[in-house]
Structure 1
């Protein structure tokens, strides 16, 4: 395997840690959107639920997959880590598993693929997702390729065996960025999830600052020496919790429900879109500004700064996405009781 540049290896390490931390959120998002949350990136994802080889408990993880007839091909890349992912060891110990794909559940059997067939499938994976080649270069292990095959005729006329048919016919499915059967494009669903995540974590962070104004093991007191105009964490806590946190939650509610607010009529006239469109962009700008100030003033660095900077940029860019703009261009008024 060729060696990767040091900065790229560090980026992969950050990616693996983020995957591990955000795995429960990813499972929830994919289940809630029936896979639609990944469609703006034109990838197919599933939720694989295995039996923990030690605990015996169900363990769920989101994986990218590639249709192969009635089966689904997955790879145990683990972000280029030196070890196989936990779900791989689980299916080796117990090949029977459950898959949720496009809102449907299938009982499957995991079958490791070897030899020339594995090499052929790996070439197909890398051809469609070139980033996996970097994972292979980052590790000395051989990355396993597996087929998840439906058991006992689980794929029937009601549940088609051809995964390409399944993806098209599933409720809520559609092309990337197009409205789902329920009228909300996948981009809007992704924005709602991102805003909700930012809002909940920002409210929590603001509360932490308010309840510990002089700092604790997480909020170091010496950091205050680098922040001008404040003597404790209460003012930053109010800005983070009420400004960014509550503002992001308000924007998420607005994008999801599209309610009419009389006080926002001027904003809708100015932008030609529902007020939540502007609120989404402002939430992204506010978050990006917070991260920029944090990087400029606080000497210590955190991997979370990268995560929130990416989320902020994604929220800002989403306002330019055609399907998101169309979705909020003519939002229907909230019916009166």
Structure 2
């Protein structure tokens, strides 16, 4: 018996944006060895539960690491609004990650104002365009901390 796509975090619906869908497919096919983003920025797969739909969805994002935690930036390229994945994890902080061949569950939270400066420096060090994205928008771009959960 098959599980309907999106009803289970292990069988999510993939981001349908064509270039993101290609990244996800290549990531899954190579266990995370490919692709990387511009400038060699590392990528992971993030699966979140929809805040309205309850559907599990997966996207491909740049990440950084800090003391065993995973860091994400909710930039949306400097758009005036937050990305949907960020809104979803605010409502449902339990997420699923694939980093390379490693798959695990994590709990997401937004870095506090006190925590953010050194974390921001770390993520900008991985992908410098984030600094430009912040200049393009009036909103404060969040840094998300993902703490792995031991199962």
TM-score by length of 2: 0.82
Contact 2:41 / 2:126 at 8 angstroms: preserved in 1?
no
- Higher-Rg structure is 1
Equivalences, count: 135
Q: Which of 83, 95, 100 is equivalent to 1:97?
A: 95
CA-CA distance at 1:38 after TM superposition: 3.0
Decide which structure has greater helix share. 1
Contact 2:23 / 2:35 at 8 angstroms: preserved in 1?
no
SS where residue 53 of structure 2 aligns?
coil
Q: Distance in 1 between matches of 2:101 and 2:114?
A: 33
Where has structure 1 moved over 6 Å in runs of 4 or more? none
CA-CA distance at 1:20 after TM superposition: 3.8
2:34 is matched with which residue? 37
Decide which structure has greater strand share. 2
CA-CA distance at 1:116 after TM superposition: 2.3
Q: CA offsets, 1:93-117, max 9 Å, x none?
A: 0000100111121011001101121
Higher relative contact order (CA 8 A, sep 6+): 2
SS where residue 67 of structure 1 aligns?
strand
SS where residue 22 of structure 1 aligns?
helix
SS where residue 144 of structure 2 aligns?
strand
Structure 1: which 5+ runs fail to align?
A: 1-18, 155-337
Alignment map for 1:40-59 (pairs within 5 Å):
41-59=39-57
Structure 2: which 5+ runs fail to align?
A: 1-15
1:298 is matched with which residue? none
1:125 is matched with which residue? 123
RMSD of Structure 2 on Structure 1 (CA): 1.8
CA-CA distance at 1:127 after TM superposition: 2.6
TM-score by length of 1: 0.38
